[in-house]
Amino acid sequence: MKVFISWSKSKSRDFALKTKELIEKANKGVDVFVSETDIIPGEKVQTKILEKIATCDSLIICMTRENKKSPWLLYEAGFANGKDKIVIPMLFDNDPNWHSWIDNPLNVSRELNFNSTDFKSNLRKVFFLDPNADLDYADFLIKNYINDIRKLQDEHRLVPVECEDFVDKLINHKSFLAENPKYLNQEAHFISGFETHELYECLVESFLETGKYLWIYGRKNMKLLSNFPKLFSYIQDASNNSNDSIKGIDFRCLFLDPSYEKLHEEHPDPELLNVELSGMILRAKSKLRENSNLKGSFRMYSHKREEIIIRIDNTILYTRPRFDIYGKPEIITNIGFQVFSVDSIKGQECLNKFLSIWEDSHLLE
């Protein structure tokens, strides 16, 4: 039995090496090829790889978020399919869209998903070929393998686990640029996109899927109140059977008070700001009339906004307004922003800042 393990990028390579180790321990007679360790100096890399794929019985593709569009994986999978080999995509990240961008050749057979509930049983079916294998020993190997993979996942994690799904949602959205994001100190830095419709679309989708917290330190909140009726229908449904609260949801939205004495300093066109802000507050009040449980969810503040904070569950989106030479905020649509964990030092600072503003604000009357 010959197995070829395909990988691309460092995280996938480490998973491939651990998978090779598992198969070899479980099946002494299986020949497992991984290019990282099984090509010696001086050998022609591509020639050796094609030779090994042509003579293998099955090809395992170690897939992660970072490499799912790798031309090299696509090439190797396509070559193996052409040779009528068994191709097994092995998914190490929780990415429901791992193959949505292309149908073939990565999506020709059933995947093996590390995050699925039946991973252990499927792993045994795929790798433990000897019907006389010691099941206790097999369980021991699988347990150690899973622990090793989880350690590698932690080592390679670019953002904290609580931020991964939302960052993935942004990355997979067609409007965010291909070079986004850059990663630094467990933060994702997007060079553009803040306060676009697409960003709010991702926020609302996340909240509707599994969200508990949605806090927005905004100014007018035009996109939220104008474009997402499903959000407020969802909140309405969640509060139908509760008294004076929204069951399981913590939704908070901050507006700049139109009566703020320095409102003229908050926008290049103060009259337009006043009209738009007042209009959005009227919209918020209409939401209050539709759902009395929203009463404590909208508040107004009266101060110069120096930063912009959004909380979606345990993830913070953060940016700062840009100011012109006269100290007035510029239009901030599509500027860059950061994504990081609520539990980080910056996340706790943002959380405390938001709560402080919330306590100093007043309800919509």
- pLDDT given at position 96: 65
**Topology (CATH level 3) of domain 161-363:** Endonuclease; Chain A (3.30.870)
- With contact defined as beta carbons under 8 Å apart, do 102 and 83 qualify? no
**DSSP-based helix, strand, coil % in the chain, nearest 5:** 45, 20, 35
The CATH 3.40.50.10140 domain(s) of the chain lie at 2-156
Amino acid (one-letter) located at 120: K
Alpha-carbon dihedral sign for residues 57, 62, 63, 69: negative
The two three-digit tokens of residue 292, written as one number: 């009395």
Q: What are phi and psi of 10, to 5 degrees?
A: -65, -40
- Alpha carbons 169 and 317: distance in angstroms, whole number: 13
Amino acid (one-letter) located at 144: N
**Cα-based torsion angle of the residue sequence 336, 337, 338, 342 in order, rounded to the nearest 10 degrees:** 180
The two three-digit tokens of residue 126, written as one number: 């795929």
Quick one: CATH architecture of 2-156?
Answer: 3-Layer(aba) Sandwich (3.40)
- C-alpha angle with apex 112: 35 to 159, nearest 5 degrees? 75
The CATH 3.30.870.10 domain(s) of the chain lie at 161-363
Per-residue pLDDT of the chain (365 residues; tens, 9 = 90+): 899 999 999 999 999 999 999 999 888 889 999 999 999 999 999 999 999 999 999 999 999 878 877 888 989 999 999 999 999 999 998 776 666 544 556 666 788 999 899 999 888 888 765 556 677 888 899 999 999 999 999 888 889 988 988 998 888 786 766 567 889 999 999 988 888 889 999 999 999 987 889 999 999 999 999 999 999 888 888 766 555 456 678 999 999 999 999 888 777 788 888 999 999 999 999 988 888 888 889 999 999 888 999 999 999 999 987 777 666 666 666 789 999 999 999 999 999 999 999 999 999 87
Closest CA relative to residue 160, chosen from 313, 319, 349: 313
- pLDDT given at position 48: 95
- pLDDT given at position 131: 58
- pLDDT given at position 108: 67
- Alpha carbons 206 and 195: distance in angstroms, whole number: 16
Query: Could you give the 3-state DSSP secondary structure of residue 89?
Result: strand
- pLDDT given at position 298: 94
CA 360 to chain centre: 33
Amino acid (one-letter) located at 167: V
Token pair 């057979």 is found at: 109
What's this model's pTM, rounded to 2 decimal places?
Answer: 0.72
